[in-house]
Amino acid sequence: MSSVLLALSFFFIQQIYTSSLPHPLDPLSVFEINQLKRIIESSSSTAPSNLSYQYVELEEADKESVLRWLSSMDPSRSLPPRRARVITRANSTTRQLIVDLNAGRITSESVYTGHGYPIHTSAELKQASGLPFGYSRFKVSIHRRGLRLEEVTCLPLSVGWFGEKTTKRVIRDICFYRNGTDNLFARPIEGISMLIDLDSMQVVEYLDRFQAPLPKAQGTDYRATKSDARLKAKPIGLVQPEGQSFVIDGHTIEWANWVLHARFDVRAGLVISTASIYDAEKGKFRRVLYKGHVSETFVPYMDPSSEWAYRSFLDSGEYGFGKLSFSLAPSTDCPAAAAFMDGILVGADGRPVTIPNVICVFERYAGDVSWRHTELDISERVIREARPEVNLVIRMIASVGNYDYILDWEFKESGSIKVGVTLTGIMEMKSVPYTTADQITEDECGTLVAPNTIAVHHDHFITYYLDIDIDGENNSFVKAKMLTTRVQEGASVRRSFWRVIRETARTESDARMRLDSDAADLLVVNPNKKTEMGNPIGYRLLTAAPAASLLSDDDYPQIRAAFSKYQVWVTPYDPSERWAAGEFTDMSHGDDGLAVWSRKNRNIVNKDIVLWHTVGFHHIPYQEDFPVMPTLHGGFELRPSNFFENNPLLRLEPSKLVNGCKVT
């Protein structure tokens, strides 16, 4: 079929099967994925028999084209060109392709020769998991321990990079004993590890260094059982008798004074785009966030032994948050009244795979107050006014092996955007000979949480990419600090006060920050626009807890994850700079990514800029985290700061509550 006919057929079928208005940032559809597979595999130069699709994403139209499309009032306006970016692997070679779906052809093709490899596919991870069971030395090791091979599960873990001059694309298998429990991670088979070449799919290194007591299965199950609680819980839930007050059209969501776009991505998971808020006083929508998503995660474990030293995961770039997401369950993962969106990813064979209900959208009301005031006037009349806080939440959950990351984007009628990161799941544990803590005579790099079981110390750093556009692209980054000032003797009864010192960061190095107590406000402002009072309009970053990496700068995991040394970075907008640990993260050398780009020390004053913020957790395990960890919350807020002329809630109709339930 000619490229012209292919493009026409694409357009015609899209019109038939798409009931909602398309958006330039919509994810690739099933039809488009099938189309790009045909285009690639019809090209002999790019489609050998062992071709594997490692990563496929929408190659976004340039920002200017998207904004022009959004601002057009013509209902018949055509979408900017639809393109896909494809990373393939075949014959130990990584290729990067750009496929023009409108023209039906490959417009760009290159072989990647740098350090690092693309995201692992589910197919190769599954194959690597099963490889040990046909390996004779492994079967002998399991038999020697008196274990049943059919009760063993092996999982492949990325290996990082530790200065090797030449490397193969490898992964390391570790194994667990399931017998008697569904808690896979609670019974590690310590001492065995296997290095697997992913291209040849062969065991290239096998170690069985020692045996440790296998933790007992008793007490490891976390599934629902009969409760021993003294007070039985009664049913609870949010009821919306008149339905939801948000509208989802394709991937565009409208709610209260917000309109935004949400899509699923294999690497980032949930991507929020083109978020604008309606300003009732000005009578128009105003831009806030062009794009935001998880850029990378860094999870280093603090045990330097050979079985653990390599465990320093960059989960988003090595595995993909979207690839590790699952369907969400109403009434548990999300409220019963939530709406759901599907996600589509591309399998290793190039075929589309749909994950139903991978994103949920719901309104949150938890009895909170958005604002209130009570006043007693001179006539002793009580004046009371309050508004319930009802917010819109967009959620995705990534189950990255043992840990679950609950990722929320919460939009408030006040104009704030709250980004929540919640950790739960199972800790990584190792088998030890100890049954009580007083038996431990040396540092075991963790906490004894059960007999023969130590949960290892570790960190979680989740770095967000935030392309903030405050009323336009030209923005600046302002750091405000509080300075204690002495009062001149005799000038006041006071001896001191604090004042605010504001500094506009001129370059990337000026903006880079490790958070400390004297940082009052961090703002992205539009220096070209002011309120009627003359203040520059902006949004401020209310930061997460100030947790930064404590690893030494020359430690190999830290070299690869140098972005975790600072919680705040600002860079000029560059569509090629999205992934904080670099594009090809698996076994990378730290020569690409946020810390490398920032060495250019580019000008960021009155420019299109990107804010990067890291939510960090230092996790010292405790017994309450076993056998499954209660949720641990973190996050940050983007809050309007002189963006509106006054409180925008005053111009909105308050939500109504009936018998404690919201009526929309």
Active site residues: 315, 403
Other CB atoms closer than 10 Å to residue 249's CB: what's the count? 13
Q: How far apart are CA 408 and CA 416, in angstroms?
A: 14
3 C-beta neighbours (distance < 10 Å), count: 13
Residues 378 and 393: their CA atoms lie apart, in Å, by 42
Report how far residue 63's alpha carbon sits from residue 78's, in angstroms, rounded to the nearest whole number. 16
Residue 259 near residue 253, CB atoms below 8 Å? yes
How far apart (Å, rounded) are the C-alpha atoms in residues 168 and 585?
14
| C-beta separation of 272 from 454 below 8 A | no
Which tokens hold the place of 430?
A: 């190792």
Look at residue 483 and give its three-state secondary structure: strand
Q: How far is CA 456 from CA 86, 550, 610, in A?
A: 37, 16, 35
> How far is CA 533 from each of CA 97, 644, 645, rounded to the nearest angstrom?
51, 11, 8
**Both structure tokens of 9:** 């057929």
Per-residue burial over 49-74, b = 16 or more CB atoms within 10 Å of its CB, e = otherwise = eebbbbbbbbbbbebeebbebbeeee
State phi, psi for 493 to the nearest 5 degrees.
Answer: -75, -15
The angle subtended at Cα 13 by Cα 266 and Cα 396, nearest 5°, is: 25
List, as one string, the DSSP characters of 30-60. HHHHHHHHHHHHT-TTT--TT-EEEEEEEEP
End-to-end CA separation in angstroms for the chain: 51
